[in-house]
Amino acid sequence: MALSSPAVLIAMIGGVAISLQSLFSGVIGSKVGVAESIFIVHAGGMLLAAVIIAFLRGGNLAAWNTVPWYTLTAGFLGVVIVGSISYTVPRIGLASTLTLAVVAQLVVGAILDHFGLLGAVQRSFDLPRILGLAILGVGTWLVIR
């Protein structure tokens, strides 16, 4: 699959947003509490999503029941994500939090790919991928030590 410039740019914008959201969630969590941070972040996200859906005149929301049941846990996982970030950023710092989170994402992503689980496109482990994950492990240690 070739990488297109718009996709690369959008992915990078998403990465910047994750860094900023993580920092802001950590600040909110340290000032008002983790549960409160989760609520504030998700209330703001729900408001923006509602505006976007209204702008799209409902979009395709009616098709929600056509997706696999387990995908509907994404919102719950968002609570776990914001909660863990709100808790860890003030305690171990933004770089360490994001490093651990990204490495965990990459390892789980590689496992899901390898086995083709939960709708992932199957891509087996090979030597370069295994070496890349090992290098990530070393890099993680260097960042969080």
Give the pLDDT confidence of 88-117 residue by residue, as tens digits: 999 999 999 999 999 999 999 999 999 999
| Per-residue confidence (pLDDT) for residue 2, from 0 to 100 | 59
- Residue 134 covered by a domain: yes
- Residue 110 covered by a domain: yes
Q: Which range marks the domain in which residue 113 is found? A: 21-144
Please state the domain count of the chain: 1
All residue ranges of the chain with pLDDT < 70 are 1-3
- Residue 28 covered by a domain: yes
What's the rounded Cα separation, in Å, for the pair 141 and 143? 6
- Residue 108 covered by a domain: yes
Rg of the chain over all Cα atoms, to the nearest angstrom: 18
Residue tagged 């609520």 (tokens): 39
| Per-residue confidence (pLDDT) for residue 135, from 0 to 100 | 96
CA 73-79-80 angle, 5° bins = 90
| Per-residue confidence (pLDDT) for residue 3, from 0 to 100 | 65
- Residue 9 covered by a domain: no
| Per-residue confidence (pLDDT) for residue 7, from 0 to 100 | 85
| Per-residue confidence (pLDDT) for residue 110, from 0 to 100 | 94
Give the count of beta carbons closer than 10 Å to the beta carbon of residue 25.
26
- Residue 95 covered by a domain: yes
Cα torsion angle, 28, 33, 38, 43, sign: negative
